[in-house]
Amino acid sequence: MLGLGKSPRGFTTAVTVFGLLATGAAVQVSTADPAAAATTHRVLFDNAHAETAGNADWIVSTSQPDPTGEDSSPSGEADWTGALSSWGVALQQTGDYALDTLPSGGSLTYGGSSATDLSNFDTLVLPEPNTLFTTAEKTAIMNFVKNGGGLFMISD
């Protein structure tokens, strides 16, 4: 019985096979990564719960629901208006995020047909809401998170 140590050709064959397997695995990994990187992360900022009440200004932009309506290619935080504009602009500049805002008068839903329904997003940002969520909105948020949605909350 020949082992790897007894035949140089067997050793070379084994190294070649392992090398091909490693190369194939590397090709598969490198092929999969660009597709994952190309996925746009969809973020919904809430402005339906008085985030601009009093002196508050917890919005990405005054253009709602789409902040790019104010400036489609922002280069600095002053290109969008709102206390969170620098954050929104930074996300927008990466090209990896699609941002929307649930405008005043809107309602958080999950599993509906609205363009701002939580099922259309990966992350919900609740920036210091000043009014209570309805029971239906609480249920929508819970179902969104239970189904893998991200939740970012800002409070004071």
The pLDDT score that the predictor gives to residue 132 is 93
Tens of pLDDT, residue by residue over 78-122, are 888 887 888 888 898 899 999 999 998 999 999 999 999 999 999
Higher pLDDT, 155 or 27: 155
pTM value surpassing 0.85: no
pLDDT mean over 123-133: 93
The pLDDT score that the predictor gives to residue 6 is 53
The length of the chain in residues reads 156
Query: Tokens at residue 24, please?
Result: 């194939």
- Neighbour-count burial of 6, counting CB atoms closer than 10 A to its CB (0-12 exposed, 13-18 middle, 19+ buried): exposed
Say if CB 107 and CB 47 are below 8 A apart.
no
pLDDT mean over 35-55: 81
